[in-house]
Each structure stands twice: as structure tokens, then as C-alpha cells.
């Protein structure tokens, strides 16, 4: 059973389009995250949700909007995609007071 | 603000040789420290973690790390490297709201 899953695994789209990435975890965790990994492999947190409440919102363009319908899901919607949005996006989850995070396989987004 | 430095961008070792990957952190309080490994095209897998207690921690795949507060370091070691260990290794520190700050990663290449 996959602990943290993401769909799709690959996403190729054109500039200006709107796209969504979905994330689901079956670990029973109450906190979920989105990270962005750029072409140089640098990982940076974008958002985190705890029990569907936004906890961390780093300096991310407001074209990025996370949504958490329940504790097990955290989706990322991106409007008006730009070339610079091309990256690998990772979802992760953890349990409150337990700092270790478990990562999904990533979604490689390519904007042309 | 918390930060992590991995001074070695790329390391090459022969199979069977020992390995040490360096990590230095900056954090005001007692740090929670992690090592993750990312194989090509894969997500991040947790190798080991340090929260408190014994400063030498054991992880999966034969890895260990030693926390040295005086040096602000958390170096990863393995006595004998296998070709399958070739991957990108990330050190991370957890801060408030479980926010993980990652280093820039060290790419390990293993020669046969």
C-alpha cells in the first residue's frame, strides 16, 4: 500500500493554463505539506496544513492555491502557469508532534 | 532562522569504501535533524533522525549519523558503500510548525 501518493506523476502543459496536482496519504497523519524541488534539486516548503487548516504559507505566488478537503488529502491548484513553475512538486505528511515527514513520489511539472 | 549547509555538492567513492557526508545546521534551540535519500526519479526516503538522547543514531540501509552540538554538525556515515547507494542525500532540520529546512543536497556516485 502506498503511504503518500500523488497524481499525476508527470504533467506537461502550456503557459497560461491552469492545472491541479492531487495528494493522498493513508498513514493517518494530520499534517500535510507541499514542497517544490527546482532543477538544481533544491527543496523548499510551500505550504502546510494541519487538520485542514493552513499553517505554513511561504512566499509563494497567489497563483498557487492549496486545498485540503480532509486530513488525508491536500491538493495544489496552479493558475496561469509560467515557465518558472516547471519543477518537481512533492507532497508529504506527518503527525503532530512527530517531526518526521513522509514524502510522495513527486509530480514533475513541465511548462512549455 | 534555521538553515542547513551541505558543503559537498558531489562525492565519488568506490564500492566497498567508507562514506561520510557532511551536514552543518543553524538553529537556536535543540534541533530535530534528519537525513533523507532521493534515488533518481524517486521521492525522498527517510534514512534516520535525531531528536534527543544518544548522539549516534542508526538508520536504515546500514547508515548512521552522529550529532555533535559543539560543531553544529550531523554527518552521515556508512562503513561500506554499495553501488545501490548512489543517490542524492539531503540533510534537514525541523523548526516551528514542523517546517523542514533542507540543505542543497550531496550527490553520491559509486564506482565499481
DSSP letters for B32-85: EEEEEEE-TT--EEEEEEE-SS-SEEE-GGG-EEEEEGGGTEEEEEESS--GGG
Does the distance separating the beta carbons of B98 and A48 come in below 8 Å?
yes
Query: Average pLDDT, stretch B77-106?
Result: 92
- Residue B77: pLDDT over 70: yes
Indicate whether B96 pLDDT > 80. Answer: no
User: Residue range A65-92: average pLDDT?
Assistant: 95
Q: In the predicted model, is pLDDT for residue A26 greater than 90?
A: yes
Q: Which of B43, B46, B101 sits opposite A104 (nearest CB)?
A: B43
A31-66 pLDDT tens trace = 999 999 999 999 999 999 988 888 888 878 999 999
C-beta atoms of A48 and B97 within 8 A: yes
Mean pLDDT across the stretch B38-42?
89
pLDDT at A1: 64
Residue among A40, A56, A105 whose CB faces B97 most closely: A56
Q: Which of A65, A64, A66, A47 is nearest to A56 (CA)?
A: A47
Q: What is the pLDDT of residue A58?
A: 84
Nearest Cα residue in chain A from B39: A105
* pLDDT (0 to 100) of residue A98: 78
Range of weakest confidence among A16-25, A31-40, B90-99 = B90-99
* Alpha-carbon distance values, A7 to A19, A25, A26, B69 (Å): 11, 12, 15, 40
CB contacts of A42 in chain B (<8 Å) are 102, 104-105
Amino acid at each position: 500500500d502506498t503511504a503518500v501518493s500523488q497524481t499525476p506523476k508527470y504533467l506537461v502543459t502550456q503557459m497560461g493554463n491552469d492545472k491541479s496536482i492531487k495528494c493522498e496519504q493513508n498513514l493517518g497523519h494530520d499534517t500535510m505539506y507541499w514542497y517544490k524541488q527546482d532543477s538544481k534539486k533544491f527543496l523548499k516548503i510551500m505550504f502546510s496544513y494541519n487538520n485542514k487548516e493552513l499553517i505554513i504559507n511561504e512566499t509563494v505566488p497567489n497563483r498557487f492555491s492549496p486545498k485540503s478537503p480532509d486530513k488525508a488529502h491536500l491538493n495544489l491548484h496552479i493558475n496561469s502557469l509560467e515557465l518558472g513553475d516547471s519543477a518537481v512538486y512533492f507532497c508529504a505528511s506527518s503527525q503532530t508532534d512527530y517531526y518526521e515527514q513522509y514524502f510522495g513520489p513527486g509530480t514533475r511539472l513541465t511548462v512549455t | 532562522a534555521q538553515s542547513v549547509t551541505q558543503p559537498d555538492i558531489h562525492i565519488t567513492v568506490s564500492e566497498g569504501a567508507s562514506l561520510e557526508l557532511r551536514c552543518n545546521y543553524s538553529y537556536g534551540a535543540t534541533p530535530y535533524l534528519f537525513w533523507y535519500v532521493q534515488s533518481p526519479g524517486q521521492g525522498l526516503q527517510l534514512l534516520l533522525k535525531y531528536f534527543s538522547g544518544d548522539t549516534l543514531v542508526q538508520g536504515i540501509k546500514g547508515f548512521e549519523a552522529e550529532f555533535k552540538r559543539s560543531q553544529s554538525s550531523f554527518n552521515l556515515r556508512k562503513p561500506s558503500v554499495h553501488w545501490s547507494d548512489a543517490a542524492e542525500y539531503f540533510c534537514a532540520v525541523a523548526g516551528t510548525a514542523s517546517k523542514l529546512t533542507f540543505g542543497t543536497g550531496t550527490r553520491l556516485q559509486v564506482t565499481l
